[in-house]
Chain A
Amino acid sequence: MSKVATREAYGKALLELGKKNPSVVALDADLSGSTKTKVFGKEFPERFVNVGIAEQNLMGIAAGLSLGGKIPFASTFAVFATGRAWEQIRQSICYPGLNVKIVASHAGITVGEDGGSHQSVEDISLMRTIPAMTVIVPADGVETAKAITAMGEYAGPTYIRVGRAKTEIIYDDSYSFRVGKANVLKKGADVTVIACGVMVPEAMKAADELLAEGISAGVINMSTIKPLDSDAVIEAAKGSGAIVTAEEHSIIGGLGSAVAEVISEACPVPLVRVGIKDVFGTSGKPDDLMEKYGLTANDIKKAAKEAVAKKPRKV
């Protein structure tokens, strides 16, 4: 299976979008080599703005460029974009409803060796809570490219989360991405795993292994966390009677919470959340960290069995 880092896919897709749309501008805060906005900056230096190590100003300048009719893509590491500049995103971008795209890389623990200070485990939560913000977590390089392309036509503040590590490609070019639309990869009768980002391929693996053990597990790629495709969540809850969520993010405030909010109101069924258990990350290789923080196919399998066991017995 081929692997591509979603940040690489972002860099290339942004360049292509820039070629088609002269209003697209890219901004970075001294991390353009890492976030891959440098690819755009090399081709379009006159449309590339490096603000230096100043994330608050990054968001403010992006807001101003948007006021001037540009389509700004502002990038830095997820931990700085959503943490350091949260209030700038709230006040200067979302409150006035500006068309700014924040594409933050090095999200989650798969940042690896840089350690806990650089591993955002709460960025989805921070962005999801701001009114009017759209939040997208692409599952692979193909979906990242499609989401970036879609941004050329999608108005309004949007947060897109991409990663540092090379991750599995699950889609081919025939895949069609739509903001706010879940992608059902597999239907299941016993349980449905709703996943995002790097956890989608893990969920697929888990579903295959569960089937061998006699459990029919569905898999949904919920790449848009907000607005959440509630219909898809309710359909899965009704269809399989148990839900597992899987995200490379804290179990507080992210996909797991969003799904819990929907099913607890609309269709209460057993739910088990796979994610980072309210702790900070640490240095290490991404694979080792995925294991340490319980983010592997095995962890999803365990969670799925737990969810199935919680289902009310049929009489």
Chain B
Amino acid sequence: MTLAVDSIKHLAQTACTIRMDIVEMLNKAGSGHTGGSLSAADIVTALYFHKMRHMPSDPKWPERDRFILCKGHAAPVLYAALARSGYFPLDELKTLRQFGSRLQGHPDSRKLPGVEISTGSLGQGLSVSCGLALSGKMDGKSWRVYALLGDGELQEGQVWEAAMAAAHYGLDNLTAIIDNNGLQIDGACSEVMCVDSISDKFASFGWDTINIDGHNMEEITDALDRAQAHKGRPTAIIARTIKGKGCSLFEGKVEYHGTPPSDKELEAALKELGGVE
């Protein structure tokens, strides 16, 4: 099912708003992860504002689809999506990383409604997603589990333990999305530790795979629908993205992995994002 042009446009506009939230809250916080939050903005928007069944007024609604941010350092994109969905007041985004805030440096499920599980230590989220999907299967539930991983995260061996298990248990209610922005803290993934052929890797572990442009809303929503239609196997969506996407100052720049926008950079970023239709 392809979305109407208007819906696609509307989602793209929402993603732009999410990006503005991200740069604003990171600037206010004075620390945090800019690049990987921006690269995942379109994917997270498609999930929260189109694909997932969820109920912000009842975060624990039993029939909800579950989202696990395996790459927990991209917390700002999750917080923006949750706030814009109505899980908590937008104003609270300003408290990111501050003492006493529910918006911890990495997502904390004990503090913030809407966060399914605390994450931040890379490589663990896909295992948790598998266990959650397995519980859904055991109970014959129709809700789905969406796991968002970084590409650098694939260097963690545990990811492949989980990948093996997801295929073994036929977890077709699990979709993993790889934010393939090609960069990690110390440099390009290809230089630090090659994670190439991501699609082949998952396929050889028994997954269905879909390769998309992670900034093309039509491709993202279409891939999420196709993943749901696949039966008997989990699906990995490998989303080619640009780190820092949406703000040319940060795009493809490894130094913005963990650097927040300065006041000047924020101004430029907001101007650029504001110009997007």
Contacts and interface: CB of A to CB of B under 8 A. Distances in A.
- Does B bind A? yes
Interface of A: 25, 46-47, 49, 51-52, 54, 56-57, 59-70, 72, 87-88, 91-92, 95-98
B158 A56 contact: yes
B162 interface: yes
B128 A64 contact: yes
B110 A63 contact: no
A57 B158 contact: yes
Contacts of B131: 60-68, 72
Given A54-B165, A56-B161, A60-B130, A91 B118 contact: yes
Interface string B76-100: 0000000000000000000000000
Contacts of A92: 117-118, 121, 124, 127-128
Given A51-B165, A61-B165, A87-B121, A67 B139 contact: no
B158 A60 contact: yes
Contacts, number: 109
Contact of A65 (B119, B123, B132): B132
B164 interface: yes
Contacts of A65: 131-132, 134-135
Contacts of B136: 68
Contacts of B118: 91-92, 95-96
A67 B135 contact: yes
22 contacts: A25-B138, A52-B168, A56-B127, A57-B130, A57-B165, A60-B127, A60-B158, A61-B162, A64-B134, A65-B134, A65-B135, A68-B132, A68-B134, A69-B135, A70-B135, A87-B124, A88-B124, A92-B117, A92-B128, A96-B108, A96-B110, A96-B118
The list of the 5 closest CB pairs from A to B, nearest first, reads A64-B131, A60-B127, A68-B135, A57-B161, A61-B131
A31 to B, nearest CB: 16
Contacts of A49: 134, 169
A97 B127 contact: no
Interface in B104-149: 108-110, 116-121, 123-136, 138-139
B120 A91 contact: yes
B117 A63 contact: yes
Is the contact region of chain A dominated by helix, strand, or loop, or is it mixed? helix
Given A52-B164, A54-B164, A92-B117, A60 B109 contact: no
B77 to A, nearest CB: 20
A56 B156 CA distance: 11
A67 B116 contact: yes
Contact of A57 (B110, B116, B127): B127
A61 B118 CA distance: 14
A54 B138 contact: no
A157 B157 CA distance: 24
Given A92-B117, A95-B118, A64 B129 contact: yes
A228 to B, nearest CB: 24
B5 to A, nearest CB: 38
Given A65-B135, A68-B135, A91-B124, 13 more contacts: A51-B165, A52-B165, A63-B131, A64-B128, A64-B129, A64-B135, A65-B134, A67-B128, A67-B132, A68-B132, A68-B136, A68-B138, A96-B110
Nearest to B130: A61
Contacts of B133: 64
A92 B162 CA distance: 14
B121 A63 contact: no
A61 B134 contact: yes
Interface string B154-178: 0001100110110011000000000
B127 A63 contact: yes
Contacts of A87: 121, 124
A297 B121 CA distance: 45
A310 B129 CA distance: 56
A57 B162 contact: yes
B164 A96 contact: no
Contacts of A70: 135, 138
Given A47-B138, A67-B128, A60 B162 contact: yes
A91 B121 contact: yes
Contacts of A62: 131
Contacts of B126: 60
